Structure 1
Amino acid sequence: MDIPQSRFYRVNATTLRLVGQWPYQERKSQRIQQILFHISVMTVLLMLIIPTGNMEMKKGIKLIEVWGDMDVMIECLTPMGVQVNSCVKSLNCIVNRDKMKKLLEQIKTDWSNVKREDEIKILTAHSEQGRKLSIIYIASMYATVAIYLTIPLTPIILDVIAPLNESRPREYLYRTEYFVDPDDYYFPIMLHTYIGTIITVLVVAAVDAMFATYVQHVCGILAIIGYRFENLIKIRDTRENPSEHDDQCYKELVRCIDQHYQAAEYVMLVEKSYSMAFMIQTMVSMVLLSMSAVQLLMKFGEREEMIRMIQFNLAQFFHIFYNSWPGQKLLDQSVSLRDSVYSSEWYSLSRRSKVLLKFIMLRTLKPLKLTAGKLYDLSMENFGAVIRASASYFTVFASLR
């Protein structure tokens, strides 16, 4: 299977290439893209952090000088959190490039090993679901950033379609400090922050979609193994102790155990590739969601700003959900496999098959799972815990205003 040309992975390959994170890219061009990305994002971060010496500049963030002014700090830290998460995702892909390439190679191997028509249909269904989820997630993130970027341009658009006697006050995407008069350099400042924001969201969408695709694939493999166990009875030998050569159930069990071992190794590789990054992202996202909720409270009554912050909060909520959902899907599929193993008609198998079946029974007792830095499992239960923690932080931040 050619991964980039396959309809199931074409969207992932295209979006990762755009941000220089596709493992099969030529290394030189990939490094250039990665350097340009980090320059664009880090310069926006610097403009958010650097304190201004001009206290009269309304759009200077003055993070250090105003430390303790919760409202101003939140306006600075909210976009910073998104930039930090994007950098974490990008750096994680760079550090774990070889691991992610191994994951894609394993996907190729799995597709080449699946020969039976009914099993191909199972893997195709899971891969198609992964493709659709990638498209939905990427499209949602792009739509969100489009709204977020359009609202600050509203005064300029209104000046064109419904002009007043004087120009409307110009809005900025972020509070930043460029050490120049922001009114004189309005468009260069906006262009820089817009480019940085678009690239940031491109990375977030591409990396998250690929992670979900990796997990969706292994769920398909586990579904195939479960299907094989459910249909063992159809190929069993009626003799109690057939020869090893004639015992088709035994051969099928050997294949299932081998494939389950490969699936477990695959999940372990995904865990090693993403675990630490998810720990950092979860902590940042938890605080970011609570701060953006406080910012929504700050903007109460300002219709356009409220719209912008509502969709920003929804995007953060969706981002945390999308990172947790694949982990839950993997847990569910592992439990489903365990149920298939234990509900199989094991009592009608040959003696050697019964002995072999015990090994897979023991293995499936502990479901495959993904974690965030080994601190907690990626699941919908812990997604709820993160949201509850964000709500607690929200009350703390709101009380400090």
Structure 2
Amino acid sequence: MHLDARGKMICIDCLHISLNRKLLLAVGLWPYQQSKFVRFQLILLFAILTSFIIFQFTAFMTSKCTPDLIINVLSSALFYIMFLIKYSFFHINIEVAKCLLEQLQNIYNELTDKNEIRIIKKYGIYAKRYTAGLILVVIFSAPGLILYPFWPYFFNILLSINVSRSHLSLKKMYVTEYFVDQKKYFYLILLHANAALYVGVFTILAIGTIFIVYQQHACGMFRIASYRIEKAMAVDISQKGNLRNRNLIYKELIRAVDMHREAMRFSDSAVSRFKVMYSLMILVGVISGSLNFFRIFQALSFGYDAEELLLPLISVSTYLSIIFVGNYIAQEIMDHNNDVFISAYNIQWYAASVNVQKMILFLLQRSTKVFNINIAGLFVGSLEGAATLLSTIMSYFTVLYSTRM
């Protein structure tokens, strides 16, 4: 249990967010723990990300500004700027994140039907599985990324190949300028680069998975609305003239409509409060993704060293993961909303009383209005939206390729 200054309490186990709490604590963004140490943690992690971005742009001060330099710097720097955007905006809106968790807890506390509790728990477990799966992907990828600059040493030991220390260079991975001897301070620069990468990756992981929690619980709320409609019509409709039965049907249908409205309101709030963050991430991500696709194509076409492929591959795979996971969850929201109306269509409404039929008709009229995850009117989250983003990235890549080749 967690209690904030206003006396609001959430149950970590009920909402199945123990893993999300640990991830947010790791990057100093857990809404219920903002001590002096956490504030120091926030400043430190923000400084690591910001300074690494700055030291990439300082390369323009000491190197000739060529199209290749611009592409190499921007493809990497924009990738880290995407991390910084997500970190900064989530921290600015941390009270909103806390409020959303409290809304989930209130909804959970108001459920009394054991089947409804089972439904919301099931979707909480789905969110936990998403979180665990994404954590495992990052954990299994981490050792390879940390040890990557040292692979020449391993080849030297295992295959008795002479590999000089000069091969241990970050220039092929990052274009940076620290105004020091980069060979002498290689390990410190490597530490800075790795720290910035892992702060960014864990930021995306922590914030992304808590939004998965929000939207999975919204899916659970839509499913509860469907269940309430089905339950309402499960009343013995052969006794539709019975006043008690009619009142029970009215009550369940009203509760179904209330839950449906609450699900739409909650799902929309979880996105609309962060619409600036999402809009900037889409803009930066499309440009960064296009530039990194171009770098990958260049490396494969002209036989560049494998080191030059590493960061573009990380950037592209990270952005594609964000696109497809985020839009898949948004598609689930749309599908669960549609399921509510499918449930209303499929019930034996014709066997109910006239007044009940009118209530069902009122509910069905809502299905003429499409509900989706809309980001500032610029983008609609769905599998079709994911395809549109990918198509946009490839279009910019094609333009860049045609002008540079």
Q: TM-score, structure 2 length as denominator?
A: 0.88
- Secondary structure at 1:235's aligned position in 2? coil
Cα 1:360–1:33 shift into 2, 3 Å: farther
Cα distance, 1:398 vs structure 2? 1.8
Segment drifting more, 10-19 vs 137-146:
137-146
Partner of 1:41: 49
**Structure 2 counterpart of 1:128, which letter?**
I
Partner of 2:33: 25
Cα 1:153–1:74 shift into 2, 3 Å: farther
Partner of 1:105: 102
Identity, in percent, stands at 22
Match status 1:340 vs 2:338: no
Partner of 2:7: none
**Structure 2 counterpart of 1:171, which letter?**
S
Partner of 2:69: 72
* Alignment partners' CA distance in 1, 2:67 and 2:206: 33
Deviations 1:128-166 (A, max 9, x none): 111111222233244445444432332344455546284
Cα 1:214–1:7 shift into 2, 3 Å: closer
Deviations 1:304-358 (A, max 9, x none): 3366244542232112112211111101111111111122222222343333333
Partner of 1:59: none
Output aligned runs, 1:216-295, within 5 Å. 216-243=216-243, 247-295=247-295
Cα 1:37–1:160 shift into 2, 3 Å: same
Match status 1:305 vs 2:307: yes
Q: 1:395 aligns with which of 392, 395, 398?
A: 398
Q: 1:171 aligns with which of 169, 172, 179?
A: 169
User: Are the aligned partners of 1:88 and 1:277 in contact in 2 as well (CA < 8 Å)?
Assistant: yes
**Structure 1 counterpart of 2:44, which letter?**
L
User: Are the aligned partners of 1:334 and 1:367 in contact in 2 as well (CA < 8 Å)?
Assistant: no
Segment drifting more, 219-228 vs 1-10:
1-10
- Secondary structure at 1:377's aligned position in 2? strand
* Alignment partners' CA distance in 1, 2:294 and 2:163: 36
Cα 1:373–1:29 shift into 2, 3 Å: farther
* Alignment partners' CA distance in 1, 2:163 and 2:295: 32
Match status 1:118 vs 2:120: no
Cα distance, 1:3 vs structure 2? 3.6
Match status 1:15 vs 2:23: yes
Cα distance, 1:84 vs structure 2? 1.1
* Alignment partners' CA distance in 2, 1:307 and 1:171: 14
- Secondary structure at 1:299's aligned position in 2? helix
Output aligned runs, 1:360-399, within 5 Å. 360-399=363-402
Cα distance, 1:40 vs structure 2? 0.6
**Structure 1 counterpart of 2:390, which letter?**
I
* Alignment partners' CA distance in 1, 2:39 and 2:368: 44
* Alignment partners' CA distance in 2, 1:282 and 1:86: 12
* Alignment partners' CA distance in 1, 2:255 and 2:18: 30
Output aligned runs, 1:125-140, within 5 Å. 125-140=122-137
Partner of 2:4: none
User: Are the aligned partners of 2:215 and 2:333 in contact in 1 as well (CA < 8 Å)?
Assistant: yes
User: Are the aligned partners of 1:249 and 1:349 in contact in 2 as well (CA < 8 Å)?
Assistant: no
Segment drifting more, 110-119 vs 161-170:
161-170
Segment drifting more, 73-82 vs 110-119:
110-119
Deviations 1:257-281 (A, max 9, x none): 2212221221221122232211111
The alignment of Structure 1 onto Structure 2 pairs a total of residues equal to: 390
* Alignment partners' CA distance in 1, 2:208 and 2:163: 47
User: Are the aligned partners of 1:236 and 1:249 in contact in 2 as well (CA < 8 Å)?
Assistant: no
User: Are the aligned partners of 1:236 and 1:349 in contact in 2 as well (CA < 8 Å)?
Assistant: no
- Secondary structure at 2:274's aligned position in 1? helix
Cα 1:332–1:105 shift into 2, 3 Å: same
Partner of 1:330: 333
- Secondary structure at 1:371's aligned position in 2? strand
Partner of 1:57: none
* Alignment partners' CA distance in 1, 2:126 and 2:224: 15
* Alignment partners' CA distance in 1, 2:52 and 2:308: 23
Partner of 2:91: 94
Match status 1:296 vs 2:284: no
* Alignment partners' CA distance in 1, 2:282 and 2:163: 49
User: Are the aligned partners of 1:16 and 1:207 in contact in 2 as well (CA < 8 Å)?
Assistant: yes
Cα 1:4–1:350 shift into 2, 3 Å: same
**Structure 1 counterpart of 2:42, which letter?**
Q
Q: TM-score, structure 1 length as denominator?
A: 0.89
Cα distance, 1:195 vs structure 2? 0.9
Q: CA RMSD in A?
A: 2.4
**Structure 2 counterpart of 1:119, which letter?**
E
* Alignment partners' CA distance in 1, 2:77 and 2:295: 14
Segment drifting more, 83-92 vs 179-188:
83-92
* Alignment partners' CA distance in 2, 1:277 and 1:311: 21
- Secondary structure at 1:238's aligned position in 2? helix
